[in-house]
A and B are shown apart, each in its own frame.
Chain A
Amino acid sequence: MNQHLAQERPLMDICLLAGRIMLQNGAETYRVEDTMIRMANARGVDAQSFVTPTGIIFSIDGEDKTRLIRVSERAIDLQKITRVNTVSRAFCSDKLSIEEAYEKLTEIAASRHAYPIWLQIVTAALASGCFLIMFNGPWSDFASAFVCGAIGFSCALYFHRLTRFKFFAEFLAALALGLASFVLVRIGAGQSQSTIIIGSVMPLVPGVLITNAVRDLMAGHLVSGMSKGIEALLTALAIGGGIAASLFLVAS
């Protein structure tokens, strides 16, 4: 009996830890619930979990305790989700003990973004240039889109750190990017301001939110799906507002 209890407690911890890492790094809420329940089932207990984008409620059947974890800071890190996925697969097929899995999960939780910040900024800038070409912009504007994309993305990263008010960071980044494109066109480095803006704004697009919102809604997670959809909409509006503000400033 004692041994059973001693084993039960880490099981809850490990399920919650896996769930928290996934939720904090941009997994769909239905996947978070699914993973936690599967991990509990693999050790022969039934569990209930209720996950929203901002918190996890989890209880193991036959146990008195139900625990709640609040998740306030979210980022996007697909590598962490993939690694938790691998750990939970191994755990469910009994290739990992509870202790081993817990160690691995703690290590994943502490790990950093897979790529250094400078590389992220360079790739965001490269993506901006590529999007310019995809939207039929001329190659001569590639450099301008590259520069604007880098400015927009690094502003977004910087302001995200500065303020916890998420949408404001996107607004300011879009504003900076719009003004930069105006300056570049004015000094003759770029030709078509609108294509440059459209290309360089793409790295800010909330792609993960959009797909997750749809997938959560489909899985029947109406609360999460709706709230993620609204978050995506607000992000898009913040970006649009920033661009609009820059156009307004330039026009006046």
Chain B
Amino acid sequence: MLIQQLVVSFLATAAFGIIFSAPKRLLIAGGGVGMIGWLIYIEFTRSGIPVVPATLVAAFMITLVSLLFARFYKAPVTVFSVAGIIPLVPGGLAYNAMRYFVENDYNLAMRYAAESFMISGAIAIGLIVAEVVYQIVKRQPGAF
């Protein structure tokens, strides 16, 4: 079950690399980033941690690994992080929000909309924190 999730998340993220025209030699690394992010996300949510912190940690790790890969492969960070972030986007919640808006059930719609908004915020914060941590570590003498 876990293996299956890892394989599909790797494929989905690498496929996004192709859609965004990422260089061929970086597709595997990009897929790996997405797989790591998704592994953290499902393991956290399965062990009962709420979705928002799980998303935050996953986004944090995706960005951190992407920054390291960017340094290693001498390529822009975006090539690695963009596709990895996409599985975390709250598509399901946004869909439910839309569906309840169409059904005129505004209470439920607002609930789902607020929740997907929170998750989007968690993705942004994860990105920011990773970048800040990376910059602080990089400034330490002898870090790399």
Contact = CB atoms under 8 A, between A and B. Distances in A.
Interface of A: 26-28, 31, 76-83, 85-86, 89, 113-115, 119-120, 123-124, 126-127, 130-131, 133-135, 153, 194, 197-198, 201-203, 205, 207-208, 210-212, 214-215, 218, 236, 240-241, 243-244, 247-248, 251
Contacts of A126: 11-12, 15
Interface string B116-134: 0000100110011001000
A208 B76 contact: no
Contacts of B75: 82, 85
Given A127-B11, A210-B89, A77 B78 contact: no
A208 B78 contact: yes
A248 B8 CA distance: 32
A133 B82 contact: no
Of all A-B residue pairs in the complex, the 10 with the closest CB atoms, nearest first, are A130-B12, A127-B15, A123-B15, A130-B8, A123-B18, A207-B86, A77-B21, A114-B21, A133-B8, A78-B22
Interface of B: 4-5, 8-9, 11-12, 15-24, 26, 38, 74-79, 81-83, 85-87, 89, 91-92, 94-99, 101-103, 120, 123-124, 127-128, 131
Nearest to A229: B124
Contacts of B120: 210
Nearest to B101: A244
A123 to B, nearest CB: 4
A114 B23 contact: yes
Contacts of B76: 27, 31, 78, 81-82, 85
Contact of B12 (A79, A89, A127): A127
B12 A120 contact: no
Contacts of A80: 21
Given A82-B26, A240-B98, 19 more contacts: A31-B76, A76-B21, A78-B82, A82-B79, A83-B23, A113-B21, A119-B18, A131-B87, A153-B19, A207-B16, A207-B82, A207-B86, A208-B20, A208-B78, A236-B94, A240-B94, A247-B98, A247-B99, A251-B102
Contacts of B89: 202, 205, 207, 210
A127 B91 contact: no
Contacts of A83: 23
A241 B97 CA distance: 11
Contacts of B95: 194, 197-198, 201, 240, 243
Nearest to B62: A211
A78 B98 contact: no
Contacts of B85: 207, 210-211
A235 B38 CA distance: 24
B36 to A, nearest CB: 14
Contacts of A248: 102
Contacts of B20: 26, 76-78, 207-208
B22 A212 contact: no
